[in-house]
Structure 1
């Protein structure tokens, strides 16, 4: 039986009110500018670890809601910026889902994942203005391999350049910090060596696990480095 005009209008309103669901390709298109290493296998890996639960069509295709998208952005940001293990992030999100307001270890307290802002992007002039840096300081930072030259810079570059502005006031120039790049490369070598057993299993799940393990190792190395610096500073106290 044909539906009445009122029924058709009501159905159309319900359809327009429902949030649009996204395919894996559409999710990648929206997130890869912020997270260049995001791949379909990484998305599937995050689903396996129950960080996100997309809907499924009758044919079995994954469909992500806007809230799924924000949840993914939150998870990926916590990994990238705070080196948090997925099990820690999942525990935090489980508490959020249960209506609690937990504190996330190693990061600022957030009441909901959707409150997490997207990373800001800066043109060269904007970057220097935000950091209070001169063109010469940015050039020196690039030549000393402390910042990678680019058309558009992220917040990491802003944080580094701002720190270099402050260090310059104490007489520390970018050229004095060239050893930092060498130290970072040595740490990368350690991480790559630790990943060899996982990397040998050349499947999508193993590649995603390798990425997660790399972040966890980087976070542990950061803890050791910070502790050594604090210990050395304590010896400077009179």
Structure 2
């Protein structure tokens, strides 16, 4: 299959996958499609099985590429491989959706944000005061602001106030500064492959940070509660 056909097959289970992502995984040596005489990629059934395994491991288990590479070398992808039927004739060639399109930027006014997050404007103002939510130029809020507001609203039911969450903002800013230093050299390159590696690195660093925070929080709660 061509890279476009593979993308069309995978998107039924992994709607966020892009051609850039597939090329990045090839650059990392996790999948090695053959090349035609003209240089076009041709993916085998085994290649598609490897891609399914990689994408599942990242999405469901938050595994870093290093661990995924080790599991692939042991043939882990063969256990979940499943045959895929794809029409490859010229008249039935899948027409993949645009691979490089990014989701539309979410822009919400204050009232819209409060409604979707299930909070009132007083809590929103408190979140802004403590630096947890930022209003963008034009007086609108993005998807991250919505996510923070939703979680803050749910935590408020337990008596957790925005002032209690200030430490999260400080810790996140420190992490962002650290990871930005690690990824910046790739972002400065004009090579699209380097920028794809940078985007993947940011995603993995974010997932690893979430796993570390969850583990430390569980450990701290066990110690505090005598678990």
TM-score using structure 2 length: 0.52
RMSD of equivalent CA atoms: 5.1
Q: 1:60 to 1:182 in 2, by over 3 A?
A: same
Distance 1:202 1:169, change over 3 A: same
Tell me if the contact between 1:85 and 1:212 (Cα under 8 Å) persists in the aligned partners.
no
Determine the C-alpha separation between the residues in 2 that align with 1:119 and 1:206. 22
Q: Which has the larger radius of gyration?
A: 1
- The aligned residue for residue 89 of structure 2 is none
- Establish whether residue 160 from structure 1 lines up as the match of residue 148 from structure 2: yes
Corresponding residue number in structure 1 for 2:122: 136
Gap regions ≥5 residues in structure 2: 5-15, 31-37, 41-50, 84-96
Once the two structures are superposed, what CA deviation does each residue of 1:39-75 show, in whole Å capped at 9, x if it has no partner?
9967854676799xxxxxxx999xxxxxxxxx9xxx7
- Write out aligned runs for 1:20-99 (5 A): 45=24, 85=64, 98-99=81-82
**2:217 alignment counterpart:** 229
The offset of 1:236, in angstroms, is 2.0
SS in 1 for 2:159: coil
Question: Are 1:210 and 2:210 counterparts?
Answer: no
Cα pair 1:86 1:212 within 8 Å, conserved: no
Alignment-derived partner of residue 86 in structure 2: none
Q: Give yes or no for contact 2:133–2:148 (8 Å, CA) kept in 1.
A: yes
5+ unaligned residues in a row in structure 1: which ranges?
A: 1-20, 22-34, 52-58, 62-70, 101-113
Count of aligned positions: 179
Instruction: Determine the C-alpha separation between the residues in 2 that align with 1:205 and 1:181.
Output: 32
**Residues 134 and 141 in structure 2, CA contact (< 8 A), matched pair in contact too:** no
Distance in 2 between the 1:199 and 1:152 partners?
A: 26
